């Protein structure tokens, strides 16, 4: 395994796990709470409601696909777009100086550390880069392809 393959696979695992866990947390928390968190960020009701229902499941499915290496590039593009969108939402919340809710398995906290969250997202986008370019080795996609090639032989 060369360094590029290693970085690609590691990036896939790290980002995939992060999104999978984030999605599971959002599904396990009440939708009312999630809508409240999204509204707190400044999202209008018409956007917060569907986002609270659809987005967590997208995170779970695409996160798992990314870990397994299924539709890798599609997943990376999806996550890059959503993280970029989140950055915009966080930036406007930071400019308006509103506290945002942080959600993890230990609880939901109102936090003013938006800069930290923005930084985390920048790191995620950076990690997604090797996942996109070098994350195609050791994937389920490759495994499926190899079974077909063997059949061909």
Q: How many chain residues interact with other proteins (CB under 8 A)?
A: 33
Instruction: Give whichever of 2 and 30 is closer to other proteins, judged by the CB atom.
Output: 30
Read off the tokens for 80. 């890059």
Instruction: Give whichever of 3 and 152 is closer to other proteins, judged by the CB atom.
Output: 152
Beta bridge partners of 49: none
The answer to whether residues 23 and 146 touch, using CB atoms and an 8 Å cutoff, is no
Task: Kindly write out the interface string for residues 47-86 of this chain, putting x where it contacts other proteins by CB under 8 A and - elsewhere.
Answer: ----------x--xx--xx--x-xx---------------
Q: Is 43 helix (H, G, I), strand (E, B) or coil?
A: coil
- In the list 50, 97, 150, 152, the residue contacting other proteins (rule: CB under 8 A) is 152
Give the C-alpha separation, 41 to 37, whole Å. Answer: 6
CB neighbourhood size of 92 (10 A): 12
Instruction: Give whichever of 9 and 26 is closer to other proteins, judged by the CB atom.
Output: 26
31-40 and 45-68 helices, crossing angle to 10°: 110
Give the C-alpha separation, 17 to 117, whole Å. Answer: 17
Instruction: Give whichever of 46 and 106 is closer to other proteins, judged by the CB atom.
Output: 106
The H-or-E segment that residue 103 falls in is strand 100-104
Give the footprint of other proteins on residues 81-140 (CB under 8 A): 103-109, 140
Give the footprint of other proteins on residues 8-37 (CB under 8 A): 20, 24-25, 27-33, 36
Binding site for other proteins (CB under 8 A): 20, 24-25, 27-33, 36, 57, 60-61, 64-65, 68, 70-71, 103-109, 140-141, 144-145, 147-148, 152
């Amino acid at each position: 395994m060369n360094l590029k393959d290693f970085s690609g696979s590691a990036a896939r695992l790290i980002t995939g796990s992060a999104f999978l866990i984030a999605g599971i947390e959002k599904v396990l928390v009440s939708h009312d709470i999630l809508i409240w968190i999204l509204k707190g960020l400044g999202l209008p009701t018409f956007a917060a409601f569907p986002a609270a229902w659809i987005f967590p499941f997208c995170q779970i499915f695409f996160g798992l696909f990314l870990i397994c290496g299924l539709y890798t590039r599609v997943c990376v593009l999806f996550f890059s777009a959503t993280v970029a969108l989140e950055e915009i939402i966080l930036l406007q919340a930071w400019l308006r100086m509103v506290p945002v809710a942080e959600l993890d398995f230990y609880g939901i906290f109102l936090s003013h550390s938006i800069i930290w969250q923005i930084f985390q997202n920048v790191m995620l986008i950076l990690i997604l880069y090797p996942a996109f370019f070098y994350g195609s080795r050791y994937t389920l996609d490759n495994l499926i392809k190899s079974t077909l090639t063997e059949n061909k032989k």
